[in-house]
Structure 1
Amino acid sequence: MIEPLADPFGRVHDYIRISVTDRCNLRCVYCMPSEGLEFQPHDEIMSYEEITAIMSVLAPMGVSKVRLTGGEPLVRKDLETLVHQIASIEGIQDISLTTNGMLLPAKARLLKEAGLTRINISLDSLQEDRYARITRGGNVHKVLEGIEAAYAAGLDPIKLNMVLMKGFNEDEIKDFIALTLDRPLHVRFIEYMPIGHATDSWRDTYLPLSRVAEVCEEAGWNIQDEPGPSGNGPSRNMRVDGARGTFGLIHPVSDHFCDSCNRLRLTADGHIKACLYWSDEYNVRRIIDDPAAVANLFRKALGAKPLNHEMALALEKKAQSHTPTVRRMSQIGG
């Protein structure tokens, strides 16, 4: 049996998040600048065959869960082809997708038939004008159509990711939780992270998730802790009494979950990142034709993985032990 992928702290890694493109059809304020970000040339982006080759190495090493991200993964042509290729690899048990949902109406059924297991849809506001402002041009009605398409295709669970930002959307917490009352939706409130732009503007926008509990109390909702749906990850999940769905809190800054981290990341241009926050990267694409070298490089990347990401120190303007990444979230794959 091949030795599983473990780091120096004994954390076994069975999950990889693969960015298939750095391009996106939106320009969300926390993910990309409004202008000036140059996209990588197409020949620098990993092909589906290269991604499949890497997964064929990782699956026997115990990596059984895959999440496809971007940029916006659905701007990549025929993404269902990649889903099918990965699903055909022995040992792969779960394939998920993070998307803004804008292109999902035309793709949900094809993705499900290809082997997609579940889906996360980024949705930071239910208000038309506000959503357009946060995404710099998005149409929230298209996203809502995408959610319906995911339901119709049988994707389950369907999770809605809301990045909570002071001055942007904190007044919609109640509206998002209300979505879980009558439908089996799973809302995730996520702290705003300083990926690629640890600036004063980020600190001014950061909002602790303690506000969510306050909103529930103000609404008179009785909430209970809940195990959560498949692919629960680091979320602390809760359910309003009688609700069909759940909501959860993900605290990457104020209450990090690094001690249980099981994630690897692969950027669209073929670099391994063992930690989302730090700048350490390893170019696996240059050795793609040598499976043994690919396996060794993943082990090397994990061998250098720090104990935690220290994002909280950025919030406090304190010195950190490593160099934070300068890549934007769209370039890494969140």
Structure 2
Amino acid sequence: MQQLIDNFDRKFEYLRLSITDECNFKCNYCLPDGYQRTHQKQFLSQIEIKNLVNAFAELGTKKVRITGGEPSLRKDFSAIISTISKTKGIQKVATTSNGFSLQKQAKDWFDAGLDAINVSVDSLDPKMFHLITGKNIFDKVMQGVSAAVAVGFTQVKINSVLMKGLNDTNLNLYLAWIQDKPIQLRFIELMQTEDNLEFFNKHHLSGELIKQNLLKNGWTQKMGLCHDGPAQVFTHSDYQGEIGLIMPYSKDFCKSCNRLRVSSLGRLHLCLFGEEGVDLRDLLSSADDKEALKARILTALSNKKESHYLQQGNVGGTPHLASIGG
């Protein structure tokens, strides 16, 4: 079987698939002025998604994360989950959501075949949550998190973008919250994009500070699985929950890269940063083009670079994180 392996012997078993770049939040680190549509193209259809995921599965992909924008803005979101979950070879289907529809939809998504969910909660303080997201719906999102746990998701992950002067004082609040809950809390370092240099310089904070704090207080690092994401995960015997740290500016971050991205318009991105992507869409409407699609993906992968070079300030062509699915 052909495998997605690049020139640096990295194996790619994880696909992040965006199904829309629309979002209904105005997070200050991503879309502070709200979503502005910059194209007239339609997002990938269910048929295109089915053909795409089939090709990736035959190349060894085992996990698909459905992203956006906000993926639940698609009215056919549950049907898309079902299509992907039924694909031969796909072992895990996950999504990342802002939680706006989670309370109402958690059971439908679970029943459709969703295995795991990450919810963006950038502060446990309702006022700070409102300030960061532009939405005064903290309680609604938290009720959604509780609903996800109740319907049977074995572990709900919470994403929090770490920002100096905004939510960096919340650590003790977060730790108390996960003490008796099966939740993995993930702090993500703020990343620089084309449109946020001033914000980045003001609010970027290294996750290394939290890592050293955790290790000093009895937390131990857990070994990851081959198709896990880039988080360094820490556990503690006194806590039911876990802490994950995603630190793209850390040394050798790209060494364990195992994921590729496809945008909601059908472009393959080898990295979140630094390149314009390869168009796959002309090969997605018919299953008859599967071998040509696989060949194009493999050819593109041969051009993947060793690093994202974020440390050198390279943000490539990424206007904001919602543009290709974060």
- TM-score (normalised: structure 2): 0.93
CA distance in 1, matches of 2:259, 2:214: 31
Q: Where do 1:176-215 residues align within 5 Å?
A: 176-197=174-195, 199-213=197-211
Which of 255, 258, 262 matches 1:262?
A: 258
Deviations 1:95-141 (A, max 9, x none): 00100111111111111111111111111001111111101124111
CA distance in 2, matches of 1:22, 1:152: 29
Relative to structure 1, is the Cα distance of residues 293 and 210 closer, same or farther in structure 2, using a 3 angstrom cutoff? same
Whether the 8 Å CA contact 1:167–1:205 is kept in 2: the answer is: yes
Q: Where do 1:150-189 residues align within 5 Å?
A: 150-189=148-187
Aligned to 2:295: 296
Deviation at 1:38, TM superposition (A): 2.3
Deviation at 1:158, TM superposition (A): 0.7
Whether the 8 Å CA contact 1:221–1:240 is kept in 2: the answer is: no
CA distance in 1, matches of 2:208, 2:318: 29
Are 2:317 and 1:325 aligned? yes
CA distance in 2, matches of 1:239, 1:6: 31
Which of 286, 305, 329 matches 2:282?
A: 286
Aligned to 1:15: 14
Whether the 8 Å CA contact 1:22–1:39 is kept in 2: the answer is: no
CA distance in 1, matches of 2:10, 2:220: 29
CA distance in 2, matches of 1:222, 1:104: 34
Aligned to 1:26: 25
Deviation at 1:233, TM superposition (A): 2.5
CA distance in 2, matches of 1:280, 1:300: 15
Aligned to 1:317: none
Aligned to 1:78: 76
93-102 or 240-249, which deviates more = 240-249
Whether the 8 Å CA contact 2:149–2:155 is kept in 1: the answer is: no
Q: Where do 1:233-252 residues align within 5 Å?
A: 233-252=229-248
Aligned to 1:111: 109
Deviations 1:50-103 (A, max 9, x none): 111111111111011100000001111131101111111111100001001111
Equivalent residue of 2:149, what SS?
A: helix
Deviation at 1:17, TM superposition (A): 0.3
Relative to structure 1, is the Cα distance of residues 163 and 102 closer, same or farther in structure 2, using a 3 angstrom cutoff? same
Equivalent residue of 1:113, what SS?
A: helix
Quote the RMSD (CA, aligned, Å).
2.0
Whether the 8 Å CA contact 1:188–1:247 is kept in 2: the answer is: yes
Whether the 8 Å CA contact 1:13–1:63 is kept in 2: the answer is: yes
Whether the 8 Å CA contact 1:109–1:153 is kept in 2: the answer is: yes
Shift >6 Å, 4+ stretches = 228-231
Deviations 1:179-231 (A, max 9, x none): 221111110111111133362331221101133246558xx943233347996
Aligned to 1:225: 221
CA distance in 1, matches of 2:125, 2:164: 16
**Number of residue pairs the alignment of both structures matches:** 323
What amino acid maps onto 1:291 in structure 2?
Answer: K
Equivalent residue of 2:118, what SS?
A: strand
CA distance in 2, matches of 1:231, 1:283: 24
Whether the 8 Å CA contact 2:14–2:227 is kept in 1: the answer is: no
Deviation at 1:44, TM superposition (A): 2.5
Equivalent residue of 2:170, what SS?
A: helix
What amino acid maps onto 2:50 in structure 1?
Answer: T
- Structure 1 unaligned blocks of 5 or more: 315-319
Are 2:94 and 1:96 aligned? yes
Whether the 8 Å CA contact 1:20–1:267 is kept in 2: the answer is: yes
Relative to structure 1, is the Cα distance of residues 35 and 144 closer, same or farther in structure 2, using a 3 angstrom cutoff? closer
Relative to structure 1, is the Cα distance of residues 156 and 129 closer, same or farther in structure 2, using a 3 angstrom cutoff? same
The percentage of counterpart residues that share the same residue type is 33
Which of 65, 68, 75 matches 1:67?
A: 65
190-199 or 132-141, which deviates more = 190-199
CA distance in 1, matches of 2:6, 2:191: 24
Relative to structure 1, is the Cα distance of residues 59 and 146 closer, same or farther in structure 2, using a 3 angstrom cutoff? same
Which of 141, 144, 151 matches 1:143?
A: 141
